[in-house]
Amino acid sequence: MDLRQFLMCLSLCTVCALSKPTEKKERVHHEPQLSDKPHDDAQNFDYDHDAFLGAEEAKTFDQLTPEESKERLGKIVSKIDGDKDGFVTVDELKDWIKFAQKRWIYEDVERQWKGHDLNEDGLVSWEEYKNATYGYILDDPDPDDGFNYKQMMMRDERRFKIADKDGDLIATKEEFTAFLHPEEYDYMKDIVVQETMEDIDKNADGFIDLEEYIGRQTYQGGDR
Task: Output the pLDDT for position 31.
Answer: 54
Q: Could you tell me which residue, 90 or 104, shows the higher pLDDT?
A: 90
User: What is the distance of C-alpha 10 from the center of its chain?
Assistant: 22
Which residue from 154, 82, 171, 38 is spatially nearest to 49, judged by alpha carbons? 38
Q: What is the pLDDT of residue 124?
A: 97
Residue 23 near residue 102, CB atoms below 8 Å = no
Higher-pLDDT residue of 35 and 15 is: 35
Ramachandran angles phi, psi of 171, nearest 5°: -95, 135
Start-to-end CA span in the chain (Å): 41
Tens digit of each residue's pLDDT (9 = 90 or more) over 162-194: 999 999 999 999 999 999 999 999 999 999 999
Alpha-carbon span 140 to 123, nearest angstrom: 28
Enumerate residues 6+ apart whose C-beta is below 8 A from 45: 4, 7, 8, 10, 11
Residue 121 CB neighbours (<10 A): 10
Each residue of 140-165: pLDDT tens digit? 656 555 567 888 899 999 999 999 99
Domains and CATH numbers, the chain: 43-82 (no CATH), 89-216 (1.10.238)
pLDDT of 76-100, one tens digit each? 888 888 898 988 899 998 888 777 7
